[in-house]
Chain A
Amino acid sequence: MLKIENLTKKFGNFTAVDSVNLDIKEGEVFGFLGPNGAGKTTTVKIISGILKPTSGSVSIDGIDVINNPIESKKMISYIPDEPFVYPYLTAREFLRFIAEVYKIENYNDKIDELLSFFGLLDYADLLLSSYSHGMKQKLLIASVVLRNPKVMLFDEPTVGLDPLSVKKFKELIKRLTLAGTSVFMCTHILEMAEKICDQVAVINKGKIIASGKVKDIIGHDKDKNLEDVFLELTS
């Protein structure tokens, strides 16, 4: 579903992403791990169309992201690490705005359902400037679900979420992947990655240093977990 080939991104002399190759299948949850400044956010920004790669290609369901940005963006939804939204819209207005931009039909009932699921229904008519970080994050996750994309891109999706919301988020991911949506998720929370990801890749200094199924990366040592392996790989 999401194919990344020889992806490289340079900022001047600095190589942020160096010849990255990844292949994420339909309905798969993919964890993209790495220390700060490793190149995770740059990669996800290239996939979402915010940045252009220096070389290499990214395709969604066979459609090239760089040459066919509008068609590919119809299939992607992205949530950045900082949940910036329009401060003078309410949550309900924001979701309707997103629905119109993405040309979604008959969205009213779905919006109420999503607001209720994330516990935002009582705050649906307040301006987003009054929302906390976590509330904005929940709203953005709701907006992603509203779009029903083929690929979801998350950059640190659970930062600022309360434990109940994290639980709901995990359930949601399960439900969506069962329906065929692929999830690409940058995270530092290795415990979550270990539990919900089908595949993971570890990036360091722009290069992929390990990738595969979680159990394959951990190996046969039963005393080790993903955190131990991650620290060994990146230290």
Chain B
Amino acid sequence: MLLILRYRFVSFINKIKNLKGWKRLKTLIFSIVSFFLLILLYLSFLRILKYLKGVELIGDLLIWKLSSMVFVISFSMIVVSSLIISMTTLFYSYDLKFLFSLPVREDNIFGDKTISTVFYSSWSLVVIIMPYVLALMKVNGFGLGFLVSFVFLVVPYAFLAAVIGVIFSLLLMYFFPNSKTRDAVWILSSLSFSLVYVALRFSKPEKLLRPDMLGVIANYLSYLQAPTAPYLPSWWFTKALISWSGSNYSNFLFYSFLLYGSSWFLFWLLLKLSLKTYLKAFSGSQSVNQKKYFYKNPFEFKFLKFSELKDLLAFFYKERITVKRDIRYFSQIILIIALSMVYVFSVKSLPLDNYEAKNFVSFLNITVAGFVVSAISLRFVFTSISSEGGAWWIVKTAPVKIENFLFAKLIFYFIPIYLFSMVLVSVSNYYLEADLFMFRLSVFIITVMSFVISVFAVGFGSIFPDFNIENIHQVESSYGGFIFMAASVFYCVITATIFSYPVRNYFFCLYNPNYTFEKTLLYSALLVFLIISFLSSFFIFSRAVKSLKSHES
């Protein structure tokens, strides 16, 4: 296994060495931007933690409660990430057939793939919680030893979280080698996970964070002191950090031992288990769907006979059929439905009891909905270009305009993205009892916004394509994905800024008869918004066409 790991390391070093010219520059820009974002994150965490530290008597309790919640959330996010990634790394990696042909035991291959899964599913989350830990150090005045203890403990912490996903994928593939059953179980698992998520949110945990909701102060204090998910390794992780910060080294060693001991034990157990199960599970994963799909004349070919649009409609048809038959989309759509329910429920649960606050939130809601739409577009629309994969040559050698290929993608994905954003905004507005002006304005803005974000997703997906990708989730976390998210978030913020003036003017007029509603302010904002939306979409789309035309693979 060490030999395989060594070659993996050598490949990584070679990849870095081969970064030249524009690729090197892009990586450098990406690293600098990421670094600044981490600094921003650090400053935000610092502000929150300073505020909590300032609360008399219970400041430290609040900080550690928040920390334990951050670690529980990160833990569960690594679990979800590993659930998605492990299926590819364990069963569909390009090198697996080669590795299985080598005189290497299957537990060694499995060990190597487990370590890859742990790395891919946890590195970004570990990087993101790093600014939190640094802010924690700064606020509490902890020394460098605290950071060292964090680095020491984060390895088994991430490992234990990621291994849950690995176990699930291994057992799923072992017990359900038949592709149809496996797909059904995969969907049911996503459904169960979503239900648990929705149920947790509907239990209104925010009540516990607000002392006024609990009535008795003693209940609040006991909540703060109680462990957060005591049986999860995230709690051992929190306790070990608390022990280190309080110089309680025996406790620190105890919890460190728990983390490392259970990691090694679990890894050892998994390797033993893999000797009995991995080969069978891998063989099962190679089985293919033998179902027959009898051809029905699709509406794209039946009703629309415009010769000029034939290629566009053919690409639309291909995309529709692919999404319809790829089971991975279904599990993620279930998760998105759960996310939307939680989103709307969270808006409904906001403690807003006056008209102004509700309308203010209704306005802010447009931007937040824009962020959510960006995240969804990153998963489905941005990746749709790279997901052409090895079949990209079909598009490249066909007598079609790249514009038509991109329009097909755009039209196909814009429809569900638009409906999703409309549901988020309209239902939220309904619960917020938004003013008719705000309702109309937010519906108009989100219509344009969802279109522009879809164009951005298709555009940046084309500017940063990777047709040799092994796992589509690597496309999401690539620098192209990062730049798309940054551009979309920036666009949402600009939109909010543009409309803040007419919206403020409107509410001033509503409550103060001395003010007059300045229609020109609203129309100017609408004009500026439309110009920015059009120009940015046009620019990104043109760049996308140019990029795909000149793309060589």
- A interface residues with partner B (beta carbon < 8 Å): 12, 48-52, 69-71, 73-74, 76-78, 80, 82, 84-86, 88-90, 92-93, 96-97, 100-103, 125-127, 129-130
Near A by CB (< 8 A), chain B positions 286-333 give 288-295, 300-301, 307, 310-311, 313-315, 317-318, 321-322, 324-326
The chain A residue with its CB closest to the CB of B301 is: A100
Q: How many interface residues does chain B have, given as a range?
A: 35 or more
Q: Count of A-B contacts with CB under 8 A?
A: 99
Query: Assuming A70-B399, A125-B295, A129-B289, is B310 touching A101 (CB within 8 A)?
Result: yes
A127's partner among B291, B314, B317, B390 (CB-CB below 8 A) is B291
| Least distance between B477 CB and chain A CB atoms (Å) | 23
Question: In the complex, are the beta carbons of A126 and B290 less than 8 A apart?
Answer: yes
Q: Kindly list chain B residues whose C-beta atoms are within 8 Å of the C-beta of A82.
A: 390
**How far apart sit A184 and B394, CA to CA, in the bound complex (Å)?**
18
The CA-CA distance from A102 to B398 in the complex, in Å, is 7
Q: Which residues of B lie under 8 Å from residue A70 when comparing CB positions?
A: 399-401
Is the pair B393, A126 in contact by a Cβ cutoff of 8 Å? no
CB neighbours (8 Å) of A71 from chain B are: 399
Q: Report chain A residues within 8 Å CB of B392.
A: 84
Do residues A125 and B318 form an inter-chain contact, with CB atoms below 8 A? Answer: no
B contact face: mostly helix, strand, loop, or mixed: helix
Q: Are B390 and A84 in contact (CB under 8 A)?
A: yes
Contact check, B293 vs A86: say whether CB atoms are below 8 A apart. no
In terms of DSSP, what is the predominant structure of the interface of chain A?
A: mixed
Does B397 have its Cβ within 8 Å of any Cβ on chain A? yes
Contacts of A76 in B (CB 8 A): 397
Using A97-B317, A127-B293 as known contacts, say yes or no to A86 and B391 having CB atoms under 8 A apart: yes
In the complex, A74→B310 CA distance in Å?
A: 14
With A50-B396, A78-B397, A100-B301 in contact, is A93–B295 under 8 Å at CB? yes
Question: Residues on B close to A: CB < 8 A?
Answer: 20, 288-295, 300-301, 307, 310-311, 313-315, 317-318, 321-322, 324-326, 389-394, 396-401, 550, 552-553
Would you call A90 and B293 a contact (CB within 8 A)? yes
A50-B553, A71-B399, A129-B289 are known contacts. Are A103 and B307 too (CB-CB below 8 A)? yes
Contact B313 A100 (CB under 8 A): yes
CB pair B289 A127 closer than 8 Å: yes
> Shortest distance in angstroms between B230's beta carbon and chain A's nearest beta carbon?
45
Contact A100 B314 (CB under 8 A): yes
How far, in angstroms, from A78 to B393 measured CA to CA in the complex? Answer: 9
- Whole-angstrom distance between the Cβ of A52 and the nearest chain B Cβ: 7
Instruction: Find A96's partner among B301, B390, B394 (CB 8 Å cutoff).
Output: B301
Cα-based distance from A52 to B549 in the complex (angstroms)? 10
Q: Are B321 and A92 in contact (CB under 8 A)?
A: no
Smallest Cβ-Cβ distance to B552: which chain A residue: A51
CA A93 – CA B295 in complex, angstroms? 7
A156 to chain B, nearest CB (A): 14
Who on chain B is nearest to A47 by CB?
B397
A81 to chain B, nearest CB (A): 10
CB distance from B315 to the nearest CB of A (A): 8
- Tell me, in angstroms, the Cα distance from A82 to B94 when the chains sit together: 14
Measured between alpha carbons, how far is A69 from B324 in the docked complex, in Å?
33
A127 to B398, CA, bound (A): 22
Give the residue of B295, B398, B399 whose beta carbon is less than 8 angstroms from that of A90: B295
A103 engages B311 (CB within 8 Å): yes
| B552 and A50 contact, CB distance less than 8 A | yes
Known A-B contacts: A71-B399, A101-B398. Give 6 more (CB < 8 A).
A50-B553, A78-B397, A85-B391, A126-B292, A127-B291, A130-B288
Tell me how far the C-beta of A2 lies from the nearest C-beta in chain B, rounded to whole angstroms.
15
Using CB atoms, name the residue of chain B closest to A111. Answer: B295
